[in-house]
Amino acid sequence: MLVEGISDQVALETLAARRGRDLAGEGVEIVPIGGAHAIGAFLERYRGVRVAGLCDAGEQGVFQRALERTGHGAALSRADMARLGFHICVADLEDELIRALGPARVEELFAEHGDLQAFRTFQKQPEWRGRPVDRQMRRMLGSSIGKIKYARIFVEALDLEQIPGPLDAVLADVR
């Protein structure tokens, strides 16, 4: 399974464990590729191996072109990519998780893990003051408090019926 970064890997490993799956035992490896633009090289590296993947909406075109260049089809739509096992987050992983949890629950988790004060300070910054709280949360996760740390925390906090579609779909595709 090819994912953009370590936070995606952590989220999927956490979800797999919560779903009772032993990915290593199933012969599934989650490979963070170090950013969307590396997808072509990884598709070449794993040519002949069943691959699946997860990317942010802003990187859909990068993944699409790489899939096309490596012989996975032509003029691939989002649905075509999903049939190939490549799923796209609405904005990004953090957006998916924040929407699934809701901002109030995210704030509770920030408080439980000692980051609520940092978030409140961030919200007071002039460029972020008054912006939608979910956007503030996404930006905060991408900066000081850490996407990797909260990928695990957020997935563990979700009810299994609330799991964002792209995460469940990519795991289902590697059964």
6 falls within a domain: yes
130 falls within a domain: no
116 falls within a domain: no
121 falls within a domain: no
CA distance 87 to 102: 22
> What's the pLDDT tens digit per position in 53-83?
999 999 999 999 999 999 999 999 999 999 9
Residue 156 CA to its chain's centroid (Å): 14
> What's the pLDDT tens digit per position in 158-175?
999 999 999 999 999 998
Report the domain count for the chain: 1
pLDDT band at residue 142 under the 50/70/90 scheme:
confident
149 falls within a domain: no
Domain of 59, in residue numbers: 2-94+160-172
46 falls within a domain: yes
103 falls within a domain: no
CA distance 142 to 71: 34
Strand-by-strand arrangement of the 53-56 sheet: 31-32, 2-3, 53-56, 86-89
